[in-house]
A and B are shown apart, each in its own frame.
Chain A
Amino acid sequence: MDQFTPLSSTIGGLIIGAASAGLLFANGRIAGISGIAGGVLKLGAGDTAWRGLFVLGLCLGGFVCSLVVPEAFAFGIERSGVALALAGVLVGFGTQMGNGCTSGHGVCGLGRLSFRSLVAVITFMATAAATIAIIGHAFGGAL
């Protein structure tokens, strides 16, 4: 599955944009996954319920899709459990510190023409590219 998929990726992107726009239109909220998920962990903050349900919906959607197209979840790269756990900690810590991820800064922030989000997107794209280049050159593509 390493081939370029312009059509399905564009259609998927349109759907992601529509889901994000729907959350703003209906509930007045930004569809930033890391912000929504981070809020679930702050129990007692008062809006845990809708955040928890959105996260549950993400998992539920993934579950249903995995029954129909299990190949859509092929991992496809060589990473150890330790590398993944460490990556998870960096993603969790970093998105809380930087107030967003690919959805909050990338889709919603760029869509709102936020300069702050543009800086965030350029930063995380750059460090992701550098990380993948280092893994490719120094570790033979596996970690």
Chain B
Amino acid sequence: MNRPTTPQLAVALGLGVLFAVGLVISGMTLPSKVVGFFDFSDGTTSWDPSLGFVMAGAIAVYLPAYRLTMRRSKPALAERFRLPTSKGIDGRLIVGSALFGIGWGMSGFCPGPALASLGGMTSQALIMVGGVIVGMVLFQRLMPAPKA
């Protein structure tokens, strides 16, 4: 395994900051906006479609960028692309995604906004991220991935 070079590490740090800025501008560090996207209890009068606009904006950039980048033989700073290799639909994908959605709906936090909000030092994010770490470690201990 090649050790990451200093430019790769600097890019990772910088893009983490940029990602957080995007999350904050988009309003996704506000759990009320996430809940508002899924909440139809008052009919459509209080529906907040913002989350859909965030996803659409992000995919509008990533989709063409992915196609253009994949024409290259390798990334700008690394030896090769490392893309997910799993293809099939299995129980782990469905059950795992279902559990994630329940936790997302309970808290209004998915992992990115939770970490950005941890930087914002809110008590809710602190509790949330603590739980996320416990959940990740639990999974890694109880159900380690089948050796690839």
A interface vs B, CB < 8 Å?
Answer: 1-6, 8-31, 33-34, 37-38, 41-42, 46-47, 49-51, 53-66, 69-70, 72-77, 79, 81, 83-103, 105-116, 119-121, 123-133, 135-137, 141, 143
Cross-chain contact of B96 among A20, A79, A97, A108 (Cβ < 8 A) = A97
Q: How far is the CA of A108 from the CA of B82 in the complex (A)?
A: 13
Main secondary structure of the interface of B (DSSP, over half): helix
Whether the Cβ atoms of A132 and B35 lie closer than 8 Å is: yes
Cross-chain contact of B102 among A29, A109, A128 (Cβ < 8 A) = A128
Whether the Cβ atoms of A101 and B19 lie closer than 8 Å is: no
Q: How far is the CA of A70 from the CA of B120 in the complex (A)?
A: 8
Q: How far is the CA of A70 from the CA of B101 in the complex (A)?
A: 27
Q: How far is the CA of A84 from the CA of B127 in the complex (A)?
A: 6
Whether the Cβ atoms of B28 and A12 lie closer than 8 Å is: yes
Whether the Cβ atoms of B81 and A28 lie closer than 8 Å is: yes
Closest to B88 in A: A116
Q: How far is the CA of A123 from the CA of B89 in the complex (A)?
A: 12
Contact with A along B45-63 (1 / 0, CB 8 A): 0101111011111111111
Cross-chain contact of B54 among A16, A53, A83, A116 (Cβ < 8 A) = A16
Q: What 4 A-B pairs have minimum CB-CB distances, sorted nearest first? A: A88-B131, A57-B16, A12-B26, A13-B57
Whether the Cβ atoms of B102 and A54 lie closer than 8 Å is: no
Given A14-B60, A24-B65: 4 more A-B contacts, CB < 8 Å = A1-B32, A24-B66, A110-B55, A127-B98
Whether the Cβ atoms of B102 and A94 lie closer than 8 Å is: yes
B94 within 8 A of A: yes
Whether the Cβ atoms of B32 and A74 lie closer than 8 Å is: yes
Whether the Cβ atoms of B124 and A79 lie closer than 8 Å is: yes
Given the known interface contacts A26-B76, A128-B104, the answer about A88 and B128 at a Cβ–Cβ threshold of 8 Å is yes
Q: How far is the CA of A112 from the CA of B14 in the complex (A)?
A: 23
Whether the Cβ atoms of A76 and B135 lie closer than 8 Å is: no
Which residues of B, 58-95, contact A by the 8 Å Cβ criterion? 58-63, 65-66, 69, 74-84, 86-89, 92-95
Q: How far is the CA of A107 from the CA of B143 in the complex (A)?
A: 26
